[in-house]
Structure 1
Amino acid sequence: MTFSSGFSVISRSEPTQLQVILRRGGIAESIHRVYVVVSDGQGRVLMSAGDTGFKTFIRSALKPFQALPFLSSGAANQMDVGDRGIAISCASHAGTNYHAREVFKLLWKAELDPSQLQCPVPVYGNSPLQHNCSGKHAAFLATSHKMSWPTYNYLQSNHPVQVEVVRQVAELLGLSADRFVVVRDNCGAPTLRLRLVQMALLYANLGASQHAELGQISRAMLAYPELVAGAGRFDTELMRLSHGQVLSKGGSEGIQCLSRIGEGLGVAIKAEDGSRRAKQAAALYVLRKMAWLTPSSLQKLEEQVLVLTTGVSLTVSGALQSHKNA
């Protein structure tokens, strides 16, 4: 994969997206437009490509924040789930026996049954434990059980556990909870429509380690990256190769979020057409420009996640704007 030159300072009135171009035999075949926002912990945009206010659904990149009530309620501590239980609650996992067992253990410690999970049974699977969102659902159930909230309707947007998720996200963003557009995700749980700058701010907070529960969540994800996604998957391999310095969580339809641990910087990426390869190529571009990974680690990550056939290449063009007055 090739990249254009580094940062440039461009007028904020002329935002330019990144373009990820797939070429076959040197001829452009597909072009993906990608938005990027880099924010600090105060929500100030430091760098961007495209409209920083672009609104879209955060999808599974919300999961670390959906895990907040699991910790703040005391459920995770009472159950003594440790970092493994917290990591699987944030996961978009591969549905392997390894992942399903971890979800089962979380439910068992809460004295709950897998039949109470309301995420779908995946295609070619035989249990909701194998669904990639089962850890999140198990944490919702465990929190509800601990708080004596009903468990049969834990996915409803007016259920106390979902209300608490929105309340805590709103608090992190400095907004009123009634400002959010809340819709159903593919797994049945609510997700939020946010501006990219808001997603970047959430991840800046996640990596800053100044919020007790967020600090626990980031440490757990980095301690057990294989639970967060799975071997060969972008989030897992990036966190492994960063040696605990970069936190990564993606979502469907072209969402990718990153955080630099200890620096209070967050990144939100959206491929406008929902392309996975485009968001991953853009993430590699950002990691290179921000120097968050060594060149050798970037090369390894690219080889693991962007597998292209002979004669096919990906090129990222465009530039990140530097916001001088942020």
Structure 2
Amino acid sequence: MINHSSNNSASPPFTVEVTRGPMVESRHVVSAAVSDSSGKIVRSWGNVEDPVYLRSAIKPLQALQLIESGAADAFNVSEKELSLACASHTGEPVHVEAVTAWLDRLGLTIDALECGTHWPTYDPAARALASSGQEPTAAHNNCSGKHSGFLCTAVHLKESIKGYIDRDHPVQRRIVTVLEDFTDLDLSNAPVGIDGCSIPTIGIPLQQAALAFARFADPSKLSADRAAACARLQKAISKYPEMIAGSDRLCTAINGAANGRIVAKVGAEGVYLAALPKAGIGIAIKAVDGTTRAVDVALGAILDEIGILDDDIHRAIDPFVRPILRNRNNITVGEITATFND
């Protein structure tokens, strides 16, 4: 359910409201920008000029070096693995087995991963692992696919695999160069934090993040090699959406149902980035309070506002972007909706 407002190029932040019965119980404030590949802001809501950490939503751009360096071809990286390199996966066997096999081709073990360890985020996978008496490894980390891509690039370029997460390592310096190319920003003085998987995360305004994903969506003005790399990642994500996320995830549902019309990636603390290749636009969203439930609904609302969602995509993503709230007895008690404010 979406309440529409005017089509001004800028407006106040919009709200995602949680209702219970006749009353709004909670409200989330959301800022967002929609840009074309020239940098024109098509729509914006709220504060799109101050930097935000894009967290894992930026992974498709971080994965470009895997292709551009020649590492993907040198190590026969499959489309499934390219999607995994962009993933925040749920630690299911399909993900863990793919990471392990990829590292094995590199002559490495799981110990080479510097992303840290946590239990699978998909509950059935975590329960199965615990029932088997096993402990999680770094391969279960939701970022292990991205880190495998980093290691693949470092091995191919004969760089040290130790400390590849450090800000001054060539792997991380290449990421900064890519982000500067796509955002038209000098990031040398940008805010830098440490992400959950221990790599640097850089503060970038939503308007520039939307521009970056618009250029990812429409790389026609980029170099031929970079355009080809963008297209290759888009195809991989669309073909293997389960690798970029996992079971019961919006990223899986939307990238699968859209058939290449939408390439979307969530990030921690309420961030979503989306590229619309046929429309040539990018979307950057931040739920100010950092909640995933808010940014999921916001993504669906903006895509609906743009007019790109058909019935097939709606069927796939509505449980995430138009959620109906039910209690423990499966009684409908409310809903979560987006309202574009005047």
**TM-score above 0.5:** yes
Q: 5+ unaligned residues in a row in structure 1: which ranges?
A: 321-326
Decide whether aligned partners of structure 1 residues 304 and 278 sit closer, same or farther in structure 2, where only a CA change above 3 A counts. closer
Map of 1:188 onto structure 2: 198
How many Å apart are 1:233 and its aligned residue? 0.5
How many Å apart are 1:142 and its aligned residue? 1.3
Once the two structures are superposed, the pairs formed by residues 19-58 of structure 1 within 5 Å of their partners are 19-58=15-54
Distance 2:187 2:28 in 1: 33
Map of 2:333 onto structure 1: 311
Q: CA RMSD in A?
A: 1.7
How many Å apart are 1:43 and its aligned residue? 1.4
The letter of the residue matching 1:273 is D
Asked whether the equivalents of residues 206 and 214 of structure 1 are also in contact (C-alpha less than 8 Å), the reply is yes
Q: Deviations over 1:197-222 (max 9, x none)?
A: 11111111111143222222111111
Asked whether the equivalents of residues 208 and 261 of structure 1 are also in contact (C-alpha less than 8 Å), the reply is yes
Asked whether the equivalents of residues 17 and 337 of structure 2 are also in contact (C-alpha less than 8 Å), the reply is yes
How many Å apart are 1:174 and its aligned residue? 2.2
Picking from 146, 149, 153, the partner of 1:139 is 149
Q: Calculate the TM-score normalised by the size of structure 2.
A: 0.88
Asked whether the equivalents of residues 36 and 270 of structure 1 are also in contact (C-alpha less than 8 Å), the reply is yes
Decide whether aligned partners of structure 1 residues 296 and 225 sit closer, same or farther in structure 2, where only a CA change above 3 A counts. closer
> Structure 1 residue 165 and structure 2 residue 175: aligned?
yes
Q: 5+ unaligned residues in a row in structure 2: which ranges?
A: 120-125, 127-134, 221-226, 327-331
Structure with greater contact order relative to length (CA < 8 Å, sep ≥ 6): 1
Map of 2:288 onto structure 1: 272
Q: Deviations over 1:123-153 (max 9, x none)?
A: 3652110110000111111111111111111
Distance 2:312 2:228 in 1: 33
Please identify, of 226-235 and 212-221, the stretch whose mean Cα deviation from structure 2 is larger: 212-221
The letter of the residue matching 2:261 is Q
How many Å apart are 1:52 and its aligned residue? 2.2
Decide whether aligned partners of structure 1 residues 23 and 177 sit closer, same or farther in structure 2, where only a CA change above 3 A counts. closer
Asked whether the equivalents of residues 288 and 295 of structure 1 are also in contact (C-alpha less than 8 Å), the reply is no
Please identify, of 154-163 and 256-265, the stretch whose mean Cα deviation from structure 2 is larger: 256-265
Distance 1:61 1:300 in 2: 20
Distance 2:324 2:87 in 1: 23
Secondary structure at 2:325 match in 1: coil
Secondary structure at 2:99 match in 1: helix
The letter of the residue matching 1:166 is V
Picking from 68, 77, 83, the partner of 2:79 is 83
| Number of residues of Structure 1 aligned to a counterpart in Structure 2 | 316
Map of 2:211 onto structure 1: 201
Please identify, of 228-237 and 310-319, the stretch whose mean Cα deviation from structure 2 is larger: 310-319
> Structure 1 residue 72 and structure 2 residue 64: aligned?
no
Q: Percent identity?
A: 30
Please identify, of 231-240 and 300-309, the stretch whose mean Cα deviation from structure 2 is larger: 300-309
